Structure 1
């Protein structure tokens, strides 16, 4: 079983690697490291594999902490997540960022991934794109917010390889927001705002409700909804009135071997972490380091914020929050990272599963 470990500790994460796409290409290629969300393992990305090599991509599918093949959370870590001590939670989330940073740098070195380089016409070649989907963005923001405090060798390795980061369909809690109107109909399953994660009558049966809820196709939306407080009523109405379409949910086409039904404990512990901390991670991730700092993390990699036309309201609002944070920082004169906001038309929360070739083409174009 392939694993990537933290170099100075016992933590390891399971991964699958497609290997270099060497046939018919040069030795320079792009590697995409993919991190899954809740319930499904990294196997959710396997439909992308047949389309990767012809686009000169190498894929590395990574399992989160607590998922099959990866290190479980220690009792001390679980206690920190469940604690009401904000500083204890802050220390825990910072340490998780260090763990993911060191694992990714170890992967880069172990797999001998080509470093990022610039061609004569100023185009980037090689390097790594790190993509997190759905609740996996919690881990992504923990990593990005801790980049400048990683051990030196890990920092240098990531700096020399990271070309882009894809924030793909982030949920509200990973963005550190929960607008008050989402709680108006926590128990109304006919509402487009309903979520089994927020419904206390359903949480104990989350495995039953989770798949159809997050993998259905919902009424399309053209633009991201506003999270300005003055627009709350309009956004509430827009989200509430979204309906599930007749298109079969993606989960009906997925196999059981990529499901992890013990995810409820991990999810419930993550939800105990206060939104303030998630928001801190997002804001720090969006902010570029000052010019006079020794390590210029902002020098090359960009952010891609990706959402889908028919996705669930949970992800629309999470994406909106991150886009709004970025605009607010920029308008306040804060030096922010370059961020591109993109939409995949016709897709639900599972664009990578339902249209894998189209998703790979998006990665090639935007990452």
Structure 2
């Protein structure tokens, strides 16, 4: 797996790359950097990458720190995120998340990625965060004013979209409804069985009520649907072994240290006029999954309220009925078409 050294920290990030599309037109390709969440590494995007070139997209899937060859989170940073002050947690979170945009900028320069055309018909980049990866991409964008001036100027010519794919409430610093269930409630089960159950539950499909009501009482918080098999069973044993990493146990404590400051970062990335001025070509999208676990639906409702509170017109919403948290694995063709529409 190729790797790239980025940013002031000189951290190394491994990645997979669908490659430069062999386009039959004169329209330059668009590059989409995708960031995974907890537990599943960047190989969760391999089905999406395999069909990207004909759509004139280049999809680069980054392994976050600690996953499959990328530099681990340092002991000092992990300590600050678990036991540090609020200010220390904020500073450390910013430093870690900014590396995502440092990666994109380094990749642009190393690979000669084309910038956005004047008519927006091609070129440029998008950042897509999936699941807990949304904490990283929103914070990276929110901090745009704190990157080196030459990097800011370059990214202004490249960033065309920020896409939040099924973000959980906590990843954006939003409150979880009291009814929200998690596998940590199953303390009576041995840890290995609890972990296995968690993956099955996370990859399941849920039948919620009428989402147009925006009433959290319609959310199904516990019981998966029996009408469709969880994504887990749409993966071979070899694929599971390659994609699911045991780093989640060590990662979760410091991810929880990041979440309290995630709210201000997400709101700044999505609604701050100064950020928009520095990234004038950027459109913001929320990609919702109508059969995702409860925390994705609760976040969707809260995002709609935030969007309206800030006057509207700054976030675009796309809800995929019947899609679970693993849309890009179970239905990569549909996911790809949605991404193509979002980056235009």
Q: Same fold (TM over 0.5)?
A: yes
In structure 1, C-alpha distance between the alignment counterparts of 2:54 and 2:145, rounded to whole Å:
35
In structure 2, list runs of 5 or more residues that go unmatched: none
Indicate yes or no: 2:341 matched with 1:365.
yes
CA offsets per residue over residues 68-124 of structure 1, 9 Å max, x none?
1111011110011112410111111121232222111101111111001122xxx44
Of 317, 320, 325 in structure 1, the residue corresponding to residue 298 of structure 2 is 317
In structure 1, list runs of 5 or more residues that go unmatched: 183-192, 227-233, 332-336
Of 208, 213, 216 in structure 1, the residue corresponding to residue 204 of structure 2 is 216
Of 269, 273, 280 in structure 2, the residue corresponding to residue 299 of structure 1 is 280
Instruction: Say if 1:357 and 1:203 are closer, same or farther in 2 by CA, change over 3 A.
Output: farther
- The structural deviation recorded for 1:243 is 4.2
The residue that corresponds to 2:322 in the other structure is 346
The residue that corresponds to 1:230 in the other structure is none
In structure 1, C-alpha distance between the alignment counterparts of 2:107 and 2:262, rounded to whole Å:
26
In structure 1, C-alpha distance between the alignment counterparts of 2:44 and 2:144, rounded to whole Å:
27
Q: Is the 8 A contact 1:216 1:244 kept in 2?
A: yes
Using the size of structure 1 for normalisation, the TM-score is 0.85
In structure 1, C-alpha distance between the alignment counterparts of 2:14 and 2:88, rounded to whole Å:
27
In structure 2, C-alpha distance between the alignment counterparts of 1:241 and 1:317, rounded to whole Å:
13
The residue that corresponds to 2:99 in the other structure is 99
Of 16-25 and 107-116, more deviation after overlay is shown by 16-25
The residue that corresponds to 1:186 in the other structure is none
Of 241-250 and 140-149, more deviation after overlay is shown by 241-250
Instruction: Say if 1:30 and 1:318 are closer, same or farther in 2 by CA, change over 3 A.
Output: same
The residue that corresponds to 1:4 in the other structure is 4
Of 355-364 and 318-327, more deviation after overlay is shown by 318-327
The residue that corresponds to 1:144 in the other structure is 141
Q: Where do 1:25-174 residues align within 5 Å?
A: 25-26=25-26, 28-119=28-119, 123-174=120-171
- The structural deviation recorded for 1:25 is 3.0
CA offsets per residue over residues 245-281 of structure 1, 9 Å max, x none?
3311001122121111221210232113452x11111
In structure 1, C-alpha distance between the alignment counterparts of 2:130 and 2:227, rounded to whole Å:
24
Query: How many aligned residue pairs are there?
Result: 338
Matched residue SS, 1:246: coil
Q: Is the 8 A contact 1:202 1:209 kept in 2?
A: no
Structure 1 runs (4+) deviating above 3 angstroms are 197-206, 236-243
Q: Where do 1:226-305 residues align within 5 Å?
A: 226=214, 235-236=216-217, 238-240=219-221, 243-254=224-235, 255=239, 256-273=241-258, 275=260, 277-290=261-274, 296-305=277-286
